[in-house]
Structure 1
Amino acid sequence: MSDATNDGTNDGMKTIGIGFHFEDLPVGTRFKTLGRTITEADLVAFVNLSWLTEELFTNADQRGGMAIRGRVVPGALVYSCAEGLLTPSMQDTGLAFLHAELNVKGPTFVGDTIHVECEVIEARPTSKPGRGLVRTSNRVVNQRGETVLAYNPLRMLKGRSGG
């Protein structure tokens, strides 16, 4: 075994948990994340942090007159959880989040378990060596197989040759 490892140290140990490099993600690559259940505590913490004080999210007693039944969560929370689920795929290799279009496709409720399904739809090197741009088509899917949110982030990732 070589003394140098993939993290640049000379301790003889490999580092696990490093995300995809640009070269690992040609167009057509598909992967999905593990799942995560969205809890009441997640909703309360997110609403308090973001000040999204709309009664849809904060008033359990007034649910009877609202169009959506159940304890619905903000699309921004669903997106935030999706990005958290994707973090391992770009740990130590992600350089920048550059752009995305985002569409909420349906409601997500407290107790729903979501995962993210991704397909690489664009991959190209940047003008600066050692990095590339990757756009994925991301679908956030609940435990019933329903797509509740879709977005297409463009990210800058390190290449294997530097960056």
Structure 2
Amino acid sequence: MIIEKYLEEYEIGASRMTAGRTITEADIVLHAGQTGDFYPHHVDAQWCATQPFKQRIAHGTLVFSVGIGMTTGVMNPRGMSYGYDRLRFIKPVFIGDTVRVRTTVKETRPHKTPSHGMLVELVEILNQNDQVVIACEHLTIMERKPAES
């Protein structure tokens, strides 16, 4: 879906929620192969059985990537992603967990270019129990409303 909003049209506290997506063993195997991260917490079921969680844990970077991808169903051509701040892996995600993403407008602030501003959104990836598993801030450089002539 495409929406066209200027920075001033975003309401602090407004939020949206994505649908869910289940994390699979295939997700973990593919991510390990793509990144080279074969840390045993992710790929060694036998070793994990001896550890406190008793099962493999999805890579934090995998869950982050999946979650951010889930939010891309809404696109605003007036904005461009500037990146992510304050990324935290709060709780583990396991094979079979279903995640969804809540995005909440946190603040708007000036940008060095007067025709643009910065939109800051809180991104929270939640598991099937509504527990936040990953949180971060998404920074988007947004076009400001043109001055009235």
Normalising by the residue count of structure 2, what TM-score does the alignment of the two structures yield? 0.84
Partner of 2:2: 18
User: Structure 2: 5+ residue runs without aligned partners?
Assistant: none
Matches of residues 1-163 of structure 1 in structure 2 within 5 Å?
17-19=1-3, 21=5, 22-90=7-75, 92-124=77-109, 126=111, 127-129=113-115, 131-158=116-143
User: Structure 1: 5+ residue runs without aligned partners?
Assistant: 1-16
Q: CA deviation at 1:91?
A: 5.3
Q: Please state which structure has a larger fraction of its residues in strand.
A: 2
Deviations 1:3-22 (A, max 9, x none): xxxxxxxxxxxxxx214633
Deviations 1:119-157 (A, max 9, x none): 11111353342x431111121111111111111121213
Deviations 1:89-141 (A, max 9, x none): 33544413234111111110111111111211111353342x43111112111
Work out the CA distance in 1 between the residues paired with 2:109 and 2:62: 30
Work out the CA distance in 1 between the residues paired with 2:85 and 2:12: 17
Deviations 1:38-70 (A, max 9, x none): 111111111110111111111122222222222
Distance 1:91 1:69, change over 3 A: farther
CA contact (8 A) 2:84 2:136 kept: no
Segment of structure 1 superposing worse, 30-39 or 149-158 = 149-158
Segment of structure 1 superposing worse, 61-70 or 108-117 = 61-70
Aligned residues, how many? Answer: 144
CA contact (8 A) 1:26 1:123 kept: no
Partner of 1:10: none
Q: CA deviation at 1:160?
A: 6.5
Work out the CA distance in 2 between the residues paired with 1:70 and 1:19: 41
Work out the CA distance in 2 between the residues paired with 1:158 and 1:37: 35
CA contact (8 A) 1:29 1:120 kept: yes
